[in-house]
Amino acid sequence: MRPLPDPPPPGPDGQRALDENARRLLAAVEDALAAPTSHRDDSPLPTVGPTPPVTQPGHPPMTQQQTDIGRTALYCGVATVPPGLVAALLMLASGHANPAVIGIVCAAPAALAVPIIALAKLLKGSQPAPDVQVRIHGDVRVDQRTVRTSNRGVWAKTNNKEN
């Protein structure tokens, strides 16, 4: 493959055209830089009044309880970092950073928390069920039919049959 030849140097007419293009380019750059790029609005800001905030479209706002739960989860997560860092630094400083010991230390909080949470759910679920009173006004029709559904094959067709 042969290298391309160098372009011929511009003649006097070509040099004038290059100079004119360079002047136009510099003038355009100066015009662009001379235009203001920011604007300060000194008009007074509106005062805050008694109007309640307006709910924005989209995801509904969180309730106070949801906000408190999120904050608690965040703080509990952050609270686990310092003890873990202290334990890791102590093991590294003592030279006894055994992987089995690190695994036991890291798994111990979860191993203790799982039974406690399960016991709390069990105790919470053992409360007596509240009395339910159903009051129906008007005609009631009770339908006690049993329907069997069968779906088989690659292209399944639902066949509902009464017993």
pLDDT tens digits along 8-62 = 776 667 677 778 888 999 999 998 888 777 788 888 877 777 777 777 777 777 8
d(C-alpha 31, C-alpha 131), whole Å? 82
Q: Name the residue type at position 71.
A: R
Domain ranges within the chain, ordered by starting residue: 64-124
Contacts of 109 (CB under 8 A, 6+ apart): 80
Cα 5 from chain centre: 58
Tens-place pLDDT, residues 109-155 = 888 888 888 888 888 777 777 788 888 888 888 888 887 777 777 77
Does the model's pTM come out above 0.75? no
